[in-house]
Amino acid sequence: MTEPDPPGSPASAFDPIIHPTHRLRICAALEPWDDYEFSDLRKVVGVSDSVLSKQLAVLMDAKYVAQTRALRDGRQRVSLRLTDLGRAAFRGHVRALRDIVGSWDGTPSVPAQASLPGSGEREPTPVQDSFGRIPTR
């Protein structure tokens, strides 16, 4: 499910592609999963199909998100996932935000190596929807 960041990826780098609210929520929702259906993601992010499609197009152009189309139960399904590049960029962006917030509130930020698997960090949890609920699949 989660793998280490690719070699050469920045430990923490603010990413202007990920930073807008909807894209940040999309990446946060996709990060703990191997794939996520478009309709479920739309509900979690709390936007219309057109808004989600537009934000996903930006993330796909940056090679941060990949989509797969498949026929299931007689209907076309679109599954989405973070690419390795997207996962590394998201993790770097989160670390950069923690660095900013940590310097603001006086608490030290978490070292980059602490977020790698096997470092004692707990498993990621799904992002809450706009009503504070954890989505179920």
The model's confidence at residue 8, banded by pLDDT at 50, 70 and 90, is: very low
CA 18-41-112 angle, to 5 degrees, is 40
pTM: 0.68
79: CATH: 1.10.10.10
Residue 68 lies in a domain: yes
pLDDT surpassing 80 at residue 38: yes
Distances (CA, A) of 48 to 58, 66, 69, 127: 16, 20, 19, 18
**Percent of the chain scoring above 90 in pLDDT:** 53
Residue 122 lies in a domain: no
Burial per residue of 121-133, b for 16 or more beta-carbon CB atoms within 10 angstroms, e otherwise: eeeeebbeeeeee
Residue 14 lies in a domain: no
The residues, any chain, with a CB within 8 Å of residue 7's CB and separated by 6 or more, are none
* pLDDT at site 124: 46
Provide the number of structural domains found in the chain. 1
Task: Please count the CA atoms within 13 angstroms of the CA of 5 that sit on its side-chain side.
Answer: 21
Q: Which domain holds residue 38?
A: 21-108
Residue 100 lies in a domain: yes
